[in-house]
């Protein structure tokens, strides 16, 4: 599997023209790869005429990258593209028509009413569920695995329709040199559309700006700072001309293996908050296990002593309740610190935290 097979490049160009995200394009390519019998060329449904005539949709048999069938399917494609595929079905085997049928049909929900954005967006990638766009759940897991491979290939290839959109915002060619010197900050605050475009582009390059909501929240701010640090720009969270120019032409981010595969313990030695989470988790675990194993109130005298004013105020509470409360607090601290350590480790692995 590679991006030079058959009509792969034509499909990629069509995905870019329609503004599909990288993971959406990956699923389109996976669909074409599977439906075309791994050729990435438009094909006619397999089988002899006797077999095909047994199909309820005959003579409108499967054609193209997506195996378009039924008279209604042919008519819809004809209306959308302005070409009469009912009278000229062989045109469905022409890549210049087959490509937009697959891409637009997947994006707009021509085939089953389900569309790409229902399953795949900037914040989700349900490649298994996305099979419903074409054909319920037939071979869903196999096609999902292929889509994941295409994500990596497209990332290495620098796929990103947001790059072209940013270039249009700047009115500079998409292949312009990357700017490294700071330019004046754009005087007007960036619009929601500009921020969303930046968020989409950062995600395409391997950063994690969060949802494409058009707001500069903590994740977006951290991604902007990380990108500027990676590309030699003056550190700030401002969306300025230099940042946009670099964003439009940047290559996908490459993380060092030792960073990408860092363990919780390794990160704890590098990031203060991760270290706090690690020690909190250790202390809570030891305290909870110790208190739980003791099982006797008189073994927890120090804790009861600290809590005695409250105990006297609310009445005579059995000692086992205090012991359970102590264990519960330890458990809550352990779970909270475990989650915090996990998030700190993920931030270090993807470069948001150094």
The per-residue DSSP string of 1-24 comes to: --TTSTTHHHHHHHHHHTT--HHH
pLDDT exceeds 50 at position 52: yes
Cis? peptide before 59, omega within 30° of 0? yes
Distance between CA 293 and CA 314 in Å, rounded?
A: 27
Joined together, the tokens standing for residue 148 give 């994941």
Task: Quote the distance between the C-alpha of residue 180 and its chain's center.
Answer: 28
Distance between CA 215 and CA 209 in Å, rounded?
A: 10
Query: What per-residue confidence (pLDDT) applies to 284?
Result: 55
pLDDT exceeds 60 at position 159: yes
Closest CA to 258 of 248, 267, 247: 267
Enumerate the β-bridge partners of residue 64.
43
Q: Give 352 or 16, the one with higher predicted confidence.
A: 16
Joined together, the tokens standing for residue 244 give 């946009």
pLDDT exceeds 70 at position 314: no
Which tens digits make up the pLDDT trace of 329-340? 777 777 776 766
Distance between CA 24 and CA 105 in Å, rounded?
A: 13
For the chain, the distance separating the N- and C-terminal CA atoms, rounded to the nearest angstrom, is 36
- Mutual orientation of helices 192-204 and 218-230 as an angle, nearest 10°? 60
Q: Across residues 166-184, what is the average pLDDT?
A: 48
Query: What per-residue confidence (pLDDT) applies to 41?
Result: 96
Per-domain residue ranges for the chain?
8-156, 161-249, 259-349
Which tens digits make up the pLDDT trace of 265-287? 676 666 666 565 555 666 655 65
Joined together, the tokens standing for residue 296 give 């006797």
Q: Give 352 or 27, the one with higher predicted confidence.
A: 27
Closest CA to 75 of 87, 63, 57, 61: 87
Distance between CA 335 and CA 39 in Å, rounded?
A: 49
Q: Are 64 and 98 in contact (CB under 8 A)?
A: yes
Joined together, the tokens standing for residue 31 give 């669909």
| Mean pLDDT taken over the chain | 79
pLDDT exceeds 50 at position 21: yes
Which tens digits make up the pLDDT trace of 54-113? 999 999 999 999 999 999 999 999 999 999 999 999 999 999 999 999 999 999 999 999
Closest CA to 112 of 72, 147, 145: 72
Angle at 75 between CA 74 and CA 78, to 5 degrees: 90
Q: Which long-range contacts (CB under 8 A, 24 or more apart) does 1-5 make?
A: 1/33, 1/146, 1/149, 1/150, 1/153, 2/153, 3/153, 3/154, 3/157, 5/39, 5/40
CA-to-CA dists, residue 99 to 93, 198, 260, angstroms: 10, 28, 36
Which tens digits make up the pLDDT trace of 289-306? 655 554 444 444 554 555
Percent of residues, the chain, with pLDDT higher than 70: 67
Scanning the structure block, which residue is given the tokens 């946009």? 244
Enumerate the β-bridge partners of residue 120.
125
Which tens digits make up the pLDDT trace of 213-243? 888 999 899 899 989 988 888 888 888 878 8
Distance between CA 321 and CA 319 in Å, rounded?
A: 5
Query: What per-residue confidence (pLDDT) applies to 181?
Result: 36
Global pTM value: 0.53
Dihedral of alpha carbons 23, 25, 31, 34, sign: negative
Query: What is residue 173's three-state secondary structure?
Result: coil
Contacts of 182 (CB under 8 A, 6+ apart): 233, 234, 240, 242
CATH architecture for segment(s) 161-249? Orthogonal Bundle (1.10)
Percent of residues, the chain, with pLDDT higher than 90: 36
Distance between CA 211 and CA 200 in Å, rounded?
A: 9
Q: Are 89 and 51 in contact (CB under 8 A)?
A: no
């Amino acid at each position: 599997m590679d991006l030079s097979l058959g009509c792969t490049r034509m499909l990629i160009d069509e995905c870019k023209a329609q503004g599909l995200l990288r993971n959406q394009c990956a699923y389109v390519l996976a669909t074409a790869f599977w439906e075309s019998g791994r050729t990435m060329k438009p094909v006619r449904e397999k089988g002899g005429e006797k077999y095909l005539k047994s199909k309820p949709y005959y003579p409108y048999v499967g054609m193209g990258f997506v195996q378009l069938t039924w008279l209604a399917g042919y008519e819809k494609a004809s209306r959308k593209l302005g070409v009469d595929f009912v009278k000229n079905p062989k045109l469905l085997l022409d890549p210049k028509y087959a490509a937009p049928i697959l891409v637009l049909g997947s994006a707009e929900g021509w085939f089953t009413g389900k569309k790409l954005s229902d399953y795949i967006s900037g914040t989700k990638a349900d490649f298994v569920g996305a099979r419903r766009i074409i054909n319920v759940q037939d071979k869903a897991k196999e096609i999902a695995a292929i889509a994941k491979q295409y994500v990596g290939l497209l990332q290495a290839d620098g796929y990103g329709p947001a790059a072209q959109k940013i270039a249009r915002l700047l009115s500079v060619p998409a292949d312009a040199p990357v700017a490294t010197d700071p330019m004046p900050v754009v005087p007007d605050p960036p619009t929601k559309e500009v921020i969303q475009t930046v968020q989409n582009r950062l995600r395409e390059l391997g950063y994690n700006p969060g949802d494409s909501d058009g707001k500069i929240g903590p994740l977006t701010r951290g991604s902007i700072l990380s990108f500027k640090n990676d590309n030699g720009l003056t550190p700030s969270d401002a969306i300025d001309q230099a940042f946009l120019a670099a964003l439009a032409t940047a290559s996908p981010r490459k993380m060092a293996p030792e960073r990408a595969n860092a363990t919780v313990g390794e990160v704890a030695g590098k990031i203060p908050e991760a270290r706090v989470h690690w020690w909190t988790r250790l202390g809570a675990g030891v305290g909870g296990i110790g208190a739980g194993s003791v099982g006797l109130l008189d073994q927890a005298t120090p804790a009861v002593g600290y809590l005695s004013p409250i105990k006297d105020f609310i009445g005579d509470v059995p000692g086992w309740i205090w012991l359970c409360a102590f264990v519960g607090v330890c458990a809550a601290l352990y779970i909270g610190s475990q989650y915090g350590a996990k998030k700190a480790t993920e931030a270090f692995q993807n470069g948001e935290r150094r």
